Amino acid sequence: MKPGSVAIVGCAESDSLGKIPDHSALQLHVESARNALADAGLSIGDIDGVAATGNFAIEVAHSMGIQPTWVDTTSVGGCSYMLHLRHAAAAITAGMATTVLITHGESGRSRNGAPGYMIEDFSPWGLYELPYGVGGLYSMFTVPVLRFMHTYGVTHEQLASVAVAQRTWAEKNERAFARDPLTVEDVVNSPFIAYPFHRAECCLITDGGGSIIVTSAERATDLRRPPVYLLGSGEASESPIVSQMADFTSARAFRASSALAFAQAGLTVHDIDHLMVYDAFAHLPIYGLEDLGFVGRGEGAAFIAEGNTLPGGSLPMNTNGGGLSYTHTGMYGMFAMQEAIRQLRGEAAVQVPDVHTSFVQGVGGMFMAAASLIFADAQP
Amino acid sequence: MVPRITALGRPAEEEATATPAKPSPKPSAESAPFWAAANRGELMIQRCVTTGRFFFYPRTYSPFVTGGDTEWVQVSGRARLYSYIIDFRPPPSFGPGPNVIAVVELAEGPRMMTSLVGVEPDPEKLPLDMELAVEFDQRGEQAVPVFRPVAQ
C-alpha cells in the first residue's frame, strides 16, 4: 500500500465510557458506530465493508441495516481492530471495498450481553498453563516482567512510574475513568494484585465502545472531517501462551509489526510526534518503547520515570491516560486508535501541540499478537 | 470443568464451591506421551531429530524444520527459576493464596510454566536463577510436573 492512500474519515466512541450497566456489548458497538457515521457525515448505504471481532461483525451490520460485501472477523485480542484497519486498507487499495466500518463494544465491567472468555482444556493454554492456577489476565500477562526487571535492573518505583505518568494525563481528561492524583509512593505502598504488580499497574475494567470509518484518500477529501491518513501498518503473532514467549525481555511480535509499519511509511522513530502503546499492564509501554526502537535496550523504564512521556515531555505517550487510567473494556486497541486520531485532528481532551504523526502499538492476548499503525494529518 | 475467565476478573462465581480440585489436564493427541511419562514420574519432552534442539510444548512436527521429525527424550528434570508472579487472588482451587505461578528454564533449554513446592510465596525466598528439580503433583488420574528448590 502506498503511504497515505487511505484515511480515517469517521471516528467516535460510545456516548459514555466506564460503568454503563444498561447497555449490552452489541449496543456499545452500534452506538459508537452511529456516532462515527454522524462524525463522517455518512449513512449506512455508504458502508460496504464491516469489521469487528468474531460474529459481532455480522450482528452489527445486520442490526444497523448495513449490507456488507466485505467482512473481516479477525479476533486476536485487544489489537484486533488495528488488524482490521490494516486489512481494510489493503481491501480498499485492491478495490475490494470502498468504505469500511470497524466497530468495538464491550461490557467488560457490567457483563451485559458479553461473551465469555474460554480456556479450552485441549488448547496449549488449557494443557500447559491452566494446571498451575492462572485465573485471569493479571496472572498471565505479568509473568515475564521479573525476568525483564532482573535483566535490566528496573526498579519497582520505575514500574510504578508508568501508572503515575498515565494518571497525570488522565487527571485533565473528563472522560477518563481514574482521575485521582497518584504518586509512585501511593502505588508501591498499595496491595499487590500479582507481585510485582499493584492495582494501579493493572488495567481498568470498564464498559464502552468505539468505531472508525476508513475510505480511500480520494473519497476522504470530499467528506466533512479532516482526513487522518494511514502511512504504514504491520501485524505479527508469536506464542499462544505467554510462558512460551521466546524472549521475556522483548516481544517478537512488537518488533516485527513495528518494523513493517516504519518500512511501509518510510519513517523512523525520529519522525514520530505522538505515541500510543497498549497498556493492559504497566510493563507494556516499557517493552513498547524498546521494541519499537524509541529507546535502547533497558532504557524504557528510566525514560518514563524521568518524565519524557508526560505532558510537555519529548515523547507524549498514552495521552488519554491509557488502559491504566482512561478506559479498558477488555480489548483496548480501538481506544488507542481513537486517541491518536483525535490528537491528529487537534481535538483531544488533553491536546498535544504540533502533532503531525502518531504511532499506535497494539497487543493481543498475552504478547500473542501485535499490530502497529502510523497515522498522519497529511499525505506524504 | 474448565473455569470461565471473565475479561480481567476471577473465575465465575458459580465455580466457587468448597475448595474445588486443582485442574487435571486431559491429554491431547499431541501431548499424550508427555502426560503418560508424568504419570510414570518421568519428565519427557521432544527433541528435533534434525537439529538436536529440544522444545516444549508437545507438537506434531519440529518447529525448527519444515515438517521435521521429533523424538521423545527423558530429560534431567533440573531447571532454574526464570520468572514468576505471586497471585494474591488465585482461583478457588489454588486459594486462598497467595499462589506462585512460575516459569522455569529446563537444563536442556526449553521453558515451561509450573508451580513451585517446598518454598514460601515470598520474593526473598524466590531469587531468579535458583536451582530447581522436578517432582509430580497427582491431580486425579493425571500427574503434573512441579518444581522444588534444590538444597544448596
Residue A136 lies in a domain: no
* Residue A159 contacts residue A302 (beta carbons within 8 Å): no
Is B90 in contact with A139 (Cβ distance < 8 A)? Answer: yes
CA-based R_g, chain A, Å: 19
Residue A71 in contact with partner chain B when CB distance is under 8 A: no
Is B88 in contact with A195 (Cβ distance < 8 A)? Answer: yes
Range of the domain at A54: 6-113+204-376
| Separation CA A363–CA A113 (nearest Å) | 24
- Contacts of A187 by beta carbon, 8 Å cutoff, 6+ apart: A160, A163, A164, A198, A200, A201
Q: Which residues of chain A have pLDDT under 70?
A: none
Q: Which of A127, A128, A205 sits opposite B8 (nearest CB)?
A: A205
Residue A149 lies in a domain: no
Burial per residue of A323-348, b for 16 or more beta-carbon CB atoms within 10 angstroms, e otherwise: bbbbbbbbbbbbbbbbbbbbbbbeeb
Residue A207 in contact with partner chain B when CB distance is under 8 A: no
Task: Indicate if the pLDDT at residue B4 is higher than 50.
Answer: no
Q: What is residue A135's predicted lDDT score, i.e. its pLDDT?
A: 81
Is A243 in contact with B99 (Cβ distance < 8 A)? Answer: no
Q: What is residue A1's predicted lDDT score, i.e. its pLDDT?
A: 83
Mean pLDDT of chain A: 97
Using one digit for the tens of pLDDT, what is the confidence trace for B87-134? 999 999 998 889 999 999 999 999 999 999 999 999 999 999 999 999
How close is the nearest chain B Cα to the Cα of A107, in Å? 9
A3 preceded by a cis bond (ω within 30 of 0): no
Residue A150 lies in a domain: no
Q: What is residue A115's predicted lDDT score, i.e. its pLDDT?
A: 86
Residue A195 lies in a domain: no
- Contacts of B29 by beta carbon, 8 Å cutoff, 6+ apart: none
Supply A33's cell numbers. 458506530
| Edge-to-edge strand ranges of the sheet holding A274-277 | A70-72, A49-51, A99-107, A207-216, A6-13, A228-237, A369-376, A357-364, A274-277
Is B103 in contact with A248 (Cβ distance < 8 A)? Answer: yes
Closest by CA to A158, choosing from A286, A316, A302, is A302
Q: Which of B6, B8, B111 sits opposite A203 (nearest CB)?
A: B8
A contacts of B81 (beta carbons < 8 Å): none
Q: What is residue A96's predicted lDDT score, i.e. its pLDDT?
A: 98
Is B87 in contact with A329 (Cβ distance < 8 A)? Answer: no
A contacts of B96 (beta carbons < 8 Å): none
How close is the nearest chain A Cα to the Cα of B23, in Å? 5
Q: What is residue A22's predicted lDDT score, i.e. its pLDDT?
A: 97
Q: What is residue B1's predicted lDDT score, i.e. its pLDDT?
A: 34
Residue A327 in contact with partner chain B when CB distance is under 8 A: no
Nearest CA in chain B to A243: B113
Burial per residue of A127-150, b for 16 or more beta-carbon CB atoms within 10 angstroms, e otherwise: bbbbbbbbbbbbbbbbbbbbbbbb
Is B10 in contact with A135 (Cβ distance < 8 A)? Answer: yes
Residue A178 lies in a domain: no
Residue A144 in contact with partner chain B when CB distance is under 8 A: yes
B96 preceded by a cis bond (ω within 30 of 0): yes
Residue A80 lies in a domain: yes
Is B28 in contact with A127 (Cβ distance < 8 A)? Answer: yes
Residue A106 in contact with partner chain B when CB distance is under 8 A: yes
Q: What is residue B17's predicted lDDT score, i.e. its pLDDT?
A: 54
Residue A20 lies in a domain: yes
A contacts of B113 (beta carbons < 8 Å): 128-129, 132, 134, 143, 241, 243
Tally the domains of chain A.
1
Task: Indicate if the pLDDT at residue B2 is higher than 60.
Answer: no
Using one digit for the tens of pLDDT, what is the confidence trace for A173-196? 999 999 999 999 999 999 999 999
Give the mutation candidate from A109, A117, A127, A237 for the B interface (greatest B CB count, under 10 A).
A127
Residue A138 in contact with partner chain B when CB distance is under 8 A: yes
Residue A188 lies in a domain: no
B contacts of A118 (beta carbons < 8 Å): 2, 4-5
Q: What is residue B5's predicted lDDT score, i.e. its pLDDT?
A: 42
| Separation CA A259–CA A361 (nearest Å) | 11
Is B88 in contact with A136 (Cβ distance < 8 A)? Answer: no
Q: Which of B5, B9, B88 sits opposite A194 (nearest CB)?
A: B88
Is B5 in contact with A146 (Cβ distance < 8 A)? Answer: no
What is the CATH number for A35? 3.40.47.10
* Residue the block writes with cell 516485527: A256
Is B6 in contact with A128 (Cβ distance < 8 A)? Answer: no
A contacts of B90 (beta carbons < 8 Å): 133, 135, 139
Nearest CA in chain B to A198: B88
ipTM entry: 0.94
- The strand pair at A192-195 and B78-87 is best described as antiparallel
